[in-house]
């Protein structure tokens, strides 16, 4: 299950207090469903949401669960309710010790998806990503922008933070991280622009707020036919691994590795649905 999370392109949030949407989310085409106990659920619905999520997991529906952050009134009850989750998304992840304590409270083997969405989280991203049990990091653009006092839709304002998360994932050997949400649900141009920025900076997945975003996100993080043709040609021309030239381009080990990753991505994506 952790491998699927590591290679997924699309992560679809579903409010935990809306069990009528759980099956629809599972059938939406999203690679991973994220049952949300945090931002999407008001204080008066937290207990009901926790019960719905617990029942869904108990029925062996695989999912990631976003719990409420440590220090909130709901954290301990959330942790107690999500024992069957494939992984837990931890909001406001800021330091290694705090995330390691969350891991200690969860059943052994539960994956961690730290959500880096504060200034402290960005500064400490390397240490957070290095915590044992971290499957993949995610970037929280909206909360971070609010803290910094910038527009969450601005690529320029958040480019440093996004790049910091990508570098932290790479230096700790984690998969390329998950980009934040696009809040403009009916603006396909905005979604496409966000996807282009994410791909350029090195993300390989995205958090989604609505099923209508899934197709574009899956397409945006999948290698194009042109990319795959290039990768196959590079590997064919690389021969015994020595430096060579193909159509005027020098082929050395980094170029070969990029070609191999593109071809691997084309075959790795599987939807999490109905069993391990």
* pLDDT tens column, 66-98: 999 999 999 999 999 998 888 999 999 999 999
Region 163-179 average pLDDT: 97
* pLDDT tens column, 128-145: 999 999 999 999 999 999
91-to-100, 190, 210, 267 alpha-carbon distances in Å: 14, 25, 20, 30
Q: What is the pLDDT of residue 81?
A: 92
> CA-CA distance, 15 to 195, in Å (whole number)?
23
> CA-CA distance, 178 to 135, in Å (whole number)?
11
Contact 116, 125 (CB under 8 A): yes
Work out the pLDDT band at 276, boundaries 50, 70, 90: very low
Helix (H, G, I), strand (E, B) or coil at 231: helix
Q: What is the pLDDT of residue 254?
A: 79
What angle do the packed helices 253-268 and 225-238 form, to 10 degrees? Answer: 130
Contact 151, 157 (CB under 8 A): yes
Share of the chain above pLDDT 70, in %: 93
Which among 67, 96, 90, 104 has a CA at the least distance from the CA of 138? Answer: 90
Work out the pLDDT band at 269, boundaries 50, 70, 90: very low
* Average predicted confidence (pLDDT) for the chain: 91
**Prediction pTM value:** 0.87
Which among 101, 142, 131 has a CA at the least distance from the CA of 113? Answer: 131
Residue 119 has pLDDT above 60, yes or no: yes
Residue 179 has pLDDT above 80, yes or no: yes
């Amino acid at each position: 299950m952790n491998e699927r999370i590591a290679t997924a392109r699309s992560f679809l949030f579903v409010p935990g207090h809306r069990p009528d949407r759980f099956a629809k989310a599972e059938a939406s085409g999203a690679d991973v469903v994220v049952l949300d106990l945090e931002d999407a659920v008001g204080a008066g619905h937290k207990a009901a949401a926790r019960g719905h999520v617990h029942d869904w997991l108990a029925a062996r529906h695989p999912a990631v669960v976003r719990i409420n952050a440590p220090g909130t009134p709901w954290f301990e009850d959330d942790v107690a309710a999500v024992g069957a989750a494939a992984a837990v998304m931890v909001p406001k992840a800021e330091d290694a010790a705090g995330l390691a304590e969350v891991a200690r409270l969860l059943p052994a083997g539960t994956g961690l998806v730290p959500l880096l969405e504060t200034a402290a989280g960005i500064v400490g991203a390397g240490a957070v990503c290095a915590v044992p049990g971290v499957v993949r990091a995610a970037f929280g653009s909206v909360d971070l922008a609010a803290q910094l006092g910038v527009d969450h839709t601005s690529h320029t304002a958040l480019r440093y933070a996004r790049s910091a998360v990508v570098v932290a994932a790479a230096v700790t050997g984690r998969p390329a991280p998950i980009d934040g949400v696009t809040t403009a649900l009916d603006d396909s141009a905005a979604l496409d622009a966000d996807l282009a920025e994410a791909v350029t900076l090195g993300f390989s997945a995205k958090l989604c707020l609505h099923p209508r975003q899934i197709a574009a996100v899956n397409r945006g993080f999948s290698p194009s036919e042109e990319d795959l043709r290039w990768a196959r040609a590079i590997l064919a021309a690389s021969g015994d691994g020595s430096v060579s030239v193909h159509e005027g381009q020098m082929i050395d080990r980094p170029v070969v590795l990029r070609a191999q990753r593109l071809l691997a991505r084309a075959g790795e994506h599987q939807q999490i649905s109905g069993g391990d």
